[in-house]
A and B are shown apart, each in its own frame.
Chain A
Amino acid sequence: MTQPFNPPKWDSIDEELFLHRVRPDGWRNPEPRAVYDLVIIGAGPAGLAAAEDACRLGCSVALVEGYRLGGVSLNSGSVPSKVIIRAGRLYTAARVAEEFCTGGTSALQIDFGVVRARMHRVGARIAEYHSADRLRAKGIDLFFGSARFSGADEILADGVPLHFRKALIATGARPRLSDISGLDTLEYRTSATIFEMTALPKRLAVIGGGPLGCQMAQAFCRLGSHVTIIQNDPKFLPGEERDAAELVSLAMARDGVEIRLNTTVTKARLEGSVKILETINNGVKDHVEADEILLSVGRSPNVEMLGLDAAGIAFDTSVGIKVDEYLHTANAAVYAAGDVCMPLKFGNAAQASARIAVQNALVGGEGRMNDLLIPWCTYCDPEIAHIGMHIWDAKERSIPVKTYTVMMQDVDRAITDGQDLGFIKIHTEEGTDKILGVTIAASRASEMINEMSVIMRAGMSMGTLADVVHIYPAQSEGIMLAALAYIRDRRKVA
């Protein structure tokens, strides 16, 4: 361990504030109503969105949370990870800035204690909007404690029966565990506990090269840990296209992450205080030494302990609660939303699905999950964002694809920003101007993909997109450049 935990004084105030907002000390659950229009289990992004929507519709709502408000996203996922990533980016930028600043910044050292404190401060601020006090003020009956079905229309919240006309399960997912031999015998971390580290590890081994593993590997490397990332597959980000995955690989290598692709961890053991991971790559045995291990091999839906059988709700411990396209479970009165039932485990997908479920449950809507266009992003640097179809999705449906690509190195603003690694790929149905999907690898891909989300939702074609005047210079101008390439190409083909 290189750096002792040294929290600034203001940290405890923020941490206290955070806790007050997500789980107040001495909270007393309300007296339940005789029957609720909607009982929601889980107060993560899906549960909170559902509670507010139902409230707006004038319905009576009970919200049951077993841990803290905000779910994984606020407590151990999207929000805290962005703080760590931001710190890593700034630290990297500071070292670049040294080249055009006088005075020198080489003495700059990351103070992990302050980074963690900032994580708490940011968390507290974001928690305010959905704080326990606010939810109560809106008329939502908030129960802290365990939740389980005790019948087809009854849930026990911290042991107290709540009767419902409709219920929504939004219990989310947790880090999947691994059966690597010996791993259980030593302390390791998952996405749920990685931010509880009180010191920056000297050596961090990351098992799993999915979005979370890659993000954290790069961020901790930038903060100063020696990071080794071990991935079973021949490439990172199995859900992304090859060029995007390879770019992430190059970017991590550039930053100094030690990359072990095509490598399986066969055994974990402790030697003194050093954690050893034994690995095998195409028959060649090796090992990785680490002070901390992050296991990120996917997520498991939280379906156990919910008494689902008592309510006649079908589920599977690996894919979660079984829902139809209307998010309806096998129980006519119960819906599910978010990570507990969806393959796309992202906060925005959780919220969008929750809103559909509420409409379907309470006002007889017929919204379908399949109609949603959900963008997502992996927050490496460059960020990798995607929306709509991948090439392989289109091919499965026998749709011929032509991709219009603009390299960020040809986008003026990316050049001026010194952020020119990446690309914009717009997949079109060949021979038409229809946009099927988009992958963006860019420093700010998470922002840029939102433009594509609007464009695709509006059904805008490449031809129309080419007419949309963009700011110059801006990195999103690259989107227009791709559409202009389409126009030129169409003329050439014609």
Chain B
Amino acid sequence: MGALADLNDESLIDELQRGAFSYLTEYVNPENGLVADTSRQDSPCSIAVVGFALSCYPIAVENGWMTRSEAVARTLATLRFFAQSEQGEQPDSTGYKGFYYHFLDMKTGRRVWQCELSLIDTALLIAGVLTVGCYFEGIGEEAEIRRLSAGLFDRVDWRWAQNSTETLMQGWKPEFGFLHYGWEGYNEATILYVLGAASKTHPLTPGSFAGWTMTYQWEHLLGQNVLYSGPLFTHFFSHAWIDFRGIRDAFMRIRRSDYFENTRAAVALHREHGARNPRGYEGYGPNFWGVTAGDGPGDQYLRENGRDRRFFGYMSRGVPYGPDDGTIAPWAMLASLPFDPIAGLEGIRHLLTRYPQVCKQDRFSSGFNPTLQMDGSGWLSEGWYGLDQGLLVMMIENYRSGLIWKILRDCPHIVTGLQQAGFTGGWLEK
């Protein structure tokens, strides 16, 4: 791994961003734009990954990794698929009420695994749809991108997904109806509420965002003042698209903070947790952190060296309340670049030097656990996850050029949604 470690910061980041992006072109079905959830054989498409992929095409154009016409073609294939695929109550449709099922067959685009119609994943997809709708400003095919983008956005029935309550459900299944897992407290859903508030056709009820923020928990924790949410990714997802620097909703106005500052605090908290390493996990330290949702070693229990060791499979991990089984997401420190470049870079350099196996083909794996030794090295998630790669491309770009943030600052839907949700100040006033 000498090559990566030898690069200067700028080249290293470029290389890793390029590596992450290559996932999105390698694991795509160019016919319909669907991108695989993971690199594993027979992986279905995750609609959230498609949302990230769409958002990455403008980045690829600006960085010269794709020609504009290639990006337009890929974008159009994707948008046409979502515009034309079946929406309805049939259990194998692609979506319903403008929302989409979480996982789709890569070829047919139909629902697989009896999965749920996912609100948050649809929001991430639609965020990508809006990104390309704002970026491609030309005529001809680019005009069609804008037309399709507007149509897909307008079709989503956010109001329906409230199920006559104040806040949003988490999903819906044709076999069962609405699903509610008790979504209490801050999490990655900010973008979902902002998009829902922006709709002209089926907007959320006016108090919806405020209703959600009622469940927030403002906490002084491990030396940080933070709007708490355990898994690190929840502090990233909405920020991949929206520039939260200096804009504040009612909650943040009282705290004289903003959501960007809050993610900075969350990053510091995760780093501090790594340094304190209360469970004595192998590897943990100030440059080894990032506990979040992702792949894990699988359910197993060990009592080892006088300590309980319980490991989990794919799950949402968090700190400091847990679950934390010693698994970190190797990509998470790099994704922290826009919030704390020093912490992100120091962490990544340490990781690449000490555990180079976590980054194959310049792509970070989903999970790594050196506490659970297997064949002389720590447990490592096989292959790559699309979400991680897409998020990395966007976060690195926002850190370097602010491209996605800039595109969406000029997106009328995002501006309206933020205003409807009560955000003021900063760039919203300009």
Interface set of A (CB-CB < 8 Å, partner B): 99-100, 233-235, 241-243, 246-247, 250, 253-254, 262, 282-283, 391-392, 395, 400-405, 407, 409-410, 420, 423, 425, 430, 485-486, 489
Contact = CB atoms under 8 A, between A and B. Distances in A.
B185 A242 contact: yes
B399 interface: no
A420 B321 contact: no
B176 A283 contact: yes
A390 to B, nearest CB: 11
Contacts of A243: 217, 321
7 contacts: A254-B310, A283-B176, A402-B218, A404-B219, A405-B221, A423-B321, A430-B218
B254 interface: yes
A234 B182 contact: yes
A403 B278 contact: no
A242 B318 CA distance: 13
A403 B254 contact: no
Given A99-B306, A485-B220, A486-B220, A407 B320 contact: yes
Contacts of A409: 276, 278-279, 320
Given A250-B322, A407-B320, A410-B276, A283 B175 contact: yes
Interface residues of B, number: 31
B184 interface: yes
A415 to B, nearest CB: 8
B214 interface: yes
B219 A402 contact: yes
B222 to A, nearest CB: 7
Contacts of B214: 392, 395
Given A234-B182, A283-B173, A283-B175, A403 B218 contact: yes
A238 to B, nearest CB: 9
Given A242-B185, A407-B278, A247 B321 contact: yes
A430 B254 contact: yes
Given A400-B218, A485-B220, 20 more contacts: A99-B306, A246-B322, A247-B322, A250-B323, A282-B173, A282-B179, A392-B214, A401-B218, A402-B218, A402-B219, A404-B219, A404-B220, A405-B221, A407-B320, A409-B320, A410-B278, A420-B278, A425-B219, A430-B218, A486-B220
B180 A403 contact: no
B289 to A, nearest CB: 16
State the 6 A-B residue pairs at the shortest beta-carbon distance, nearest first.
Answer: A283-B176, A234-B182, A409-B278, A403-B219, A405-B221, A404-B220
Contacts of B322: 246-247, 250
B364 to A, nearest CB: 27
Given A235-B182, A242-B185, A282-B176, A254 B308 contact: yes
Q: Which one of B176, B179, B218, B220 has the greatest number of beta carbons of chain A within 10 Å?
A: B220
Nearest to A405: B221
Chain B binding site: helix, strand, loop or mixed by DSSP?
A: loop
Given A234-B181, A246-B321, A489 B254 contact: no
A234 B278 contact: no
B268 to A, nearest CB: 13
Most buried by A among B215, B218, B279: B218
A391 to B, nearest CB: 6
A402 B220 contact: yes
B25 interface: no
Given A254-B310, A282-B173, A489 B182 contact: no
B87 interface: no
Contacts of A430: 218, 254-255
A489 B219 contact: no
B29 interface: no
A262 B181 contact: yes
B225 interface: yes
A228 to B, nearest CB: 16
Most chain B beta-carbon contacts within 10 A, residue among A99, A246, A401, A405: A405
Interface in B273-313: 276, 278-279, 306, 308, 310
A242 B215 CA distance: 10
A234 B180 contact: yes
Nearest to B319: A407
A246 B254 CA distance: 28
B182 A233 contact: yes
Interface string B168-210: 0000010110011110110000000000000000000000000
Nearest to B320: A407
A217 B276 CA distance: 32
A179 to B, nearest CB: 21
A467 to B, nearest CB: 19
Contacts of B180: 234
Given A283-B173, A423-B321, A403 B182 contact: no
A400 B254 contact: yes
A405 B181 CA distance: 25
B219 A405 contact: yes
Nearest to B214: A395
A122 to B, nearest CB: 30
A107 B420 CA distance: 66
Nearest to B303: A99
Nearest to A425: B219
Nearest to A404: B220
Nearest to B323: A250
Contact of B225 (A282, A407, A489): A489
B310 to A, nearest CB: 6
| Highest count of chain B CB atoms <10 Å: which of A250, A283, A485 | A283
A136 B35 CA distance: 81
A94 to B, nearest CB: 14
A250 B316 CA distance: 13
A435 B289 CA distance: 33
Interface string B249-287: 000001100000000000000000000101100000000
Contacts of A241: 217
A404 B217 CA distance: 11
B197 to A, nearest CB: 21
A100 B302 CA distance: 17
Contacts of A425: 219
Nearest to B321: A243
A486 B225 CA distance: 11
Contacts of B219: 402-405, 425
Contacts of A410: 222, 276, 278
A489 B220 contact: yes
A263 B215 CA distance: 23
A242 B184 contact: yes
Contacts of A401: 218
A253 B310 CA distance: 9
Interface centre among B179, B181, B278, B321 (most CB of A within 10 A): B321
A391 B278 contact: no
Nearest to A421: B322
B234 to A, nearest CB: 14
A243 B216 CA distance: 12
Contacts of B225: 402, 489
Nearest to B256: A493
B277 to A, nearest CB: 10
A423 B321 CA distance: 8
Contacts of A250: 322-323
B318 to A, nearest CB: 9
B172 to A, nearest CB: 10
A485 B279 CA distance: 23
Nearest to A247: B321
Nearest to B219: A403
A409 B218 CA distance: 21
B176 A403 contact: no
A99 B304 CA distance: 10
Given A99-B306, A254-B308, A407 B222 contact: yes
B42 to A, nearest CB: 22
Nearest to A235: B182
A120 to B, nearest CB: 34
Contacts of B175: 283
Looking at A100, A402, A404, the one whose CB has the most chain B CB atoms below 10 A away is A402
Nearest to A396: B214
B216 to A, nearest CB: 8
